[in-house]
């Protein structure tokens, strides 16, 4: 909080403090030079070139000692006093985009421990005006070092000066610490921590909006028996007794245990692949022979188990087979939810206005910069409301959140603006000003078909979903502001969206914004049980899975509507990022699950 003060911390001069943080930049200065300069030298004149190389690059210093001959060694050992130095470190604890400069005498801690980027430091000292003129308004003169979390420069992935965001995805556990150089140079110097802090701000702003408008925050299931949206592929939840030695044990079941305890041969094959990868990693590393032998034995046992299961599966007749669900943890099939909307409708029937936030899961394998396997969503449902009410609430939400972030995340937005997308602040401001344009899906198709100055890659026609390029053209070229498109063909929306009087379209809407395209999807839900039952049949869904949902329409039904906000995409809007994998702390997507 020192650096967030309006005076840059100058009002705290001469105060004793304890500070902690991670080294973002470091340099070493000769102590005798500090004295000669009287503390007023400029930063670019601290040391001679040779001194810089010898103090900042230990490898070159060792090289000079080895290949410089006896004379080089004699100069350091005979008739010379040890060189005292000062380590000047810029550290950050994540509370501000501005780092604090601290000065550490080599008698307190050696420079070799302090200077590597990423070193963690906890120090006690006195705040003072900088000893060397530069951009810092204040520095900490360290009198006592309380903790040093050293870094191995050879293995620490952030030791490199420049790392692309795509490369950092494989080191997500370190990614928030770094200042990176992004793809094509446009993210030069972008601080990943600022993105996460803006994400936090968006989350807080969202809760504030719904609290201010009388919504009740509720939780919806992550595991469900219902395929909730009818479009996205679902992850099926399976349980097995692969690890049958007791809770918390990592010892696999032996090959002679009953194969009927295993739910899926595919599950075991995936486990074999993981164990094989682990064995290969141990072979390449310096791990002990005992660890490698244990991993090899582990792999062997699971392979035997797979062989036994496969053999029994081939020989077992249908009449001798057990029920597919006999060994399932639940009595029926279970899935990770793709949407909590159906459950929210149940809660809205009792509580009025409700909302939920959390992860939603899609098993689709397509590559996308806007969607992951694990997406974070905000979902709402409003009792006693129709389509217009939901559209107005969604527009008000976007305006409120944009304004809140501009006011409360200004420092991080400015940091991202200066080192990345120059349109961030203007884009957020535009969200708060003019009313959004509202057009029907049919109108959108008509105006796009009249475009003559651009050829779209995807042909636009009635009944076809609008592509990203269509949405961008509507927002950026035609209307030059956010657009709400409503009344879509029923084939393009889930079964529970209310059918319009024309029998062809449904009361659904998408909110299209600059840069990111669709951010919000919403609809009025079908409260008429006969229409809902017919739509379930048309969509090819199993009606027995929706018995509980159909009951909502039979017992005390009410008109209601709501919308879903793709939270990760909202982070792209506010930060200027182009890939959602860089807007999520630990992204999960097809082919990648590191943690």
Would you list the DSSP string of 306-328?
HHHHHHHHHH--TTTPPPTTTT-
Distance between CA 518 and CA 466 in Å, rounded? 10
* pLDDT of 84 strictly over 60: yes
DSSP-assigned letter for residue 370: S
CA distance 530 to 505: 17
Q: Of residues 56 and 451, which shows the higher confidence score?
A: 451
Quick one: DSSP state of residue 218?
A: -
Strand order in the sheet with 437-440: 216-217, 353-361, 374-383, 560-566, 517-524, 505-513, 483-489, 437-440
Final residue of a domain: which of 290, 305, 329? 329
Q: What is the model's pLDDT at position 252? A: 47
Residue 122 burial class via C-beta count within 10 angstroms: exposed 0-12, middle 13-18, buried 19 and up = middle
Position 23 confidence tier, pLDDT thresholds 50, 70, 90: confident
Query: Which whole-number Å values give the CA distances from 539 to 60, 231, 333, 443, 531, in the listed order?
Result: 70, 10, 20, 26, 12
Q: 262 with 225, same domain?
A: no
Q: Are residues 296 and 395 in the same domain?
A: no
Give the distance between the most distant pair of CA atoms in the chain. 99
For the stretch 533-584, pLDDT in tens is: 999 998 888 888 899 999 999 998 899 999 999 999 999 999 998 888 888 8
- Which of the 8 DSSP states describes residue 104? E
Q: Does 47 map to a domain?
A: yes
Beta-carbon contacts of residue 451 (< 8 Å; ≥ 6 apart): 473
Torsion angle in degrees (nearest 10) through CA of 306, 309, 313, 319? -160
Q: Please provide the DSSP assignment of 326-347 as one string.
A: TT-SSSS--EE-S--HHHHHHH
Secondary structure tally for the chain: helices H, strands E: 18, 17
DSSP state of 535: H
Structural domain tally of the chain?
A: 3
Same domain, 208 and 344: yes
Tell me the percentage of the chain whose pLDDT exceeds 90.
Answer: 40
At 262-302, the pLDDT tens digits run 446 667 777 787 778 777 777 777 666 677 777 788 788 78
Give the residue numbers spanning the domain of 206. 192-234+333-582
14 and 133 fall within a common domain? yes
589 within some domain: no
The 10s digit of each residue's pLDDT in 396-431 is 999 999 999 999 999 899 988 887 788 899 999 999
pTM here?
Answer: 0.72
pLDDT tier for residue 242 given thresholds of 50, 70 and 90? very low
Q: Which of 264, 297, 329 is the last residue of a domain?
A: 329
Helical H segments across 454-587, by residue range: 468-472, 529-538, 547-554, 567-575
User: How many residues can be counted in the chain?
Assistant: 595
Of the residues 270, 295, 329, the one at which a domain ends? 329
Is 525 found in the same domain as 488?
A: yes
Please count the other Cβ atoms lying within 10 Å of the Cβ belonging to residue 541. Answer: 16
Residue 184 lies in a domain: no
- 7 vs 2: CA distance, rounded Å: 9
What are φ and ψ of residue 328, in 5° steps? -75, 150
- Across the range 157-183, mean pLDDT stands at 58
Note the pLDDT tens digit of each residue in 326-356: 556 777 788 899 999 999 999 999 999 999 9
């Amino acid at each position: 909080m020192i650096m967030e003060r309006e005076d840059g911390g100058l009002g705290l001069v001469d105060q004793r403090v304890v500070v902690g943080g991670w080294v973002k930049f470091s340099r070493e200065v000769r102590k005798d030079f500090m004295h000669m300069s009287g503390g007023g030298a400029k930063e670019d004149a601290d040391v001679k070139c040779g001194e810089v190389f010898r103090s900042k690059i230990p490898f070159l210093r060792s090289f000079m000692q080895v290949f410089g001959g006896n004379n080089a060694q004699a100069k350091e050992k005979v008739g010379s006093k040890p060189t005292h130095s000062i380590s000047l470190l810029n550290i950050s604890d994540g509370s501000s985009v501005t780092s604090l400069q601290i000065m550490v005498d080599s008698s307190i801690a050696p420079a070799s421990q302090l200077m590597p980027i990423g070193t963690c430091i906890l120090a006690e000292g006195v705040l003072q005006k900088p000893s060397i003129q530069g951009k810092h308004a204040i520095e900490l003169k360290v009198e006592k070092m309380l903790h040093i979390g050293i870094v191995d420069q050879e293995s620490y992935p952030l030791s490199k000066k420049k790392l692309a965001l795509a490369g950092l995805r494989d080191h997500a556990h370190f990614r928030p610490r770094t200042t990176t150089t992004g793809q094509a140079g446009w993210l030069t110097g972008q601080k990943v921590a600022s993105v996460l802090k803006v994400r936090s701000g968006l989350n807080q702003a969202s809760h504030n909006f719904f609290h201010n408008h009388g919504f009740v925050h509720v939780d919806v299931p992550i595991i469900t028996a219902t395929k909730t949206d009818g479009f996205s592929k679902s992850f099926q939840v399976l349980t097995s007794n692969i690890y049958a030695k007791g809770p918390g044990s990592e010892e696999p079941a032996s090959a002679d245990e009953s194969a009927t305890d295993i739910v899926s041969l595919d599950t075991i094959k995936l486990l074999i692949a993981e164990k094989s990868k682990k064995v290969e990693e141990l072979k390449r590393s310096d791990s002990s022979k005992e660890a490698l032998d244990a991993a090899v034995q582990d792999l062997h046992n699971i392979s035997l188990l797979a062989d036994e299961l496969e053999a029994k599966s081939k020989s077992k007749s249908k009449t001798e087979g057990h029920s597919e669900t006999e060994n399932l943890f639940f009595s029926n099939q279970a899935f990770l939810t793709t949407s909590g909307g159906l459950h929210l409708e149940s809660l809205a029937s009792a509580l009025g206005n409700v909302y939920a936030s959390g992860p939603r899961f899609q098993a689709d394998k397509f590559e996308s910069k806007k969607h992951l396997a694990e997406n974070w969503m905000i979902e709402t449902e409003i009792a006693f409301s129709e389509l217009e009410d939901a559209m107005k609430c969604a527009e008000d939400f976007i305006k409120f959140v944009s304004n809140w972030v501009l006011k409360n995340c200004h420092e991080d937005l400015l940091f991202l603006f200066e080192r990345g997308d120059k349109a961030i602040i203007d884009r957020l401001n535009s969200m708060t000003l003019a009313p959004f344009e509202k057009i029907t899906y049919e109108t959108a198709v008509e105006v796009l078909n009249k475009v003559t100055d651009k050829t779209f890659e995807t042909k636009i026609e009635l009944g076809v979903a609008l592509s990203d390029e269509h949405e961008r053209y509507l927002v950026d070229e035609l209307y030059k502001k956010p657009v709400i498109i409503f009344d879509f063909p029923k084939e393009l929306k889930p079964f529970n969206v209310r059918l319009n009087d024309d029998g062809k379209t449904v009361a659904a809407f998408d909110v299209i914004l600059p840069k990111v395209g669709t951010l919000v999807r919403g609809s009025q839900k079908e409260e008429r049980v006969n229409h809902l039952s017919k739509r379930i049949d048309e969509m090819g869904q199993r009606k027995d899975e929706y018995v509980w949902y159909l009951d909502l329409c039979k017992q005390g039904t009410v008109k209601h509507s709501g919308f879903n906000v793709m939270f990760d995409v909202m982070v792209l809007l506010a930060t200027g990022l182009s890939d959602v994998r860089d807007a999520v702390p630990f992204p999960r997507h097809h082919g990648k699950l590191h943690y």
